[in-house]
Chains A and B, each alone.
Chain A
Amino acid sequence: TVMTQSPATLSVSPGDRATLSCRASQRVGSSVAWYQQKPGQAPRLLIYGASTRATGIPARFSGSGSGTEFTLTISSLQPEDLAVYYCQQYNIWPRTFGQGTKVEIK
Chain B
Amino acid sequence: EVQLLESGGGLAQPGGSLRLSCAASEFSFNAYALGWVRQAPGKGLELVSSISGDGAETLYADSVKGRFSIFRDNSKNTLYLRMDSLRVEDTAVYYCARGGPYYLDSWGQGTLVTVSA
A and B: real partners? Answer: yes
In the complex the two chains form, is B59's CB within 8 Å of A42's CB? Answer: no
Q: B88 contacts the other chain (Cβ, under 8 Å)? A: no
Q: B53 contacts the other chain (Cβ, under 8 Å)? A: no
A60 vs B7: C-alpha distance in the bound complex, in angstroms?
Answer: 35
Least CB separation from A55: chain B residue = B105
A residues in contact (CB < 8 Å) with B: 31, 33, 35, 42-45, 48-49, 54-55, 86, 88, 90, 93-100
A76 vs B104: C-alpha distance in the bound complex, in angstroms?
Answer: 25
Set of chain A residues within 8 Å of B46, measured between Cβ atoms: 97
| With contact pairs A93-B59, A95-B47, A97-B44 given, residues A48 and B95 touching in the complex (Cβ less than 8 Å) | no
- Sample of 30 A–B contacts (CB below 8 Å): A33-B103, A35-B45, A35-B104, A42-B95, A42-B108, A43-B37, A43-B45, A43-B95, A43-B104, A43-B107, A45-B103, A45-B104, A45-B106, A48-B103, A55-B105, A86-B44, A88-B47, A88-B104, A93-B59, A94-B47, A94-B61, A94-B62, A95-B47, A95-B50, A95-B101, A96-B47, A97-B46, A97-B47, A98-B44, A100-B44
Q: B88-117: which have CB < 8 Å to A?
A: 95, 101-110
B residues in contact (CB < 8 Å) with A: 37, 44-47, 50, 59, 61-62, 95, 101-110
| Seed contacts A49-B103, A98-B44; 15 additional CB < 8 Å A-B pairs | A31-B102, A33-B103, A35-B45, A42-B107, A42-B109, A43-B107, A45-B104, A86-B44, A86-B45, A90-B103, A94-B61, A95-B50, A95-B101, A96-B47, A97-B45
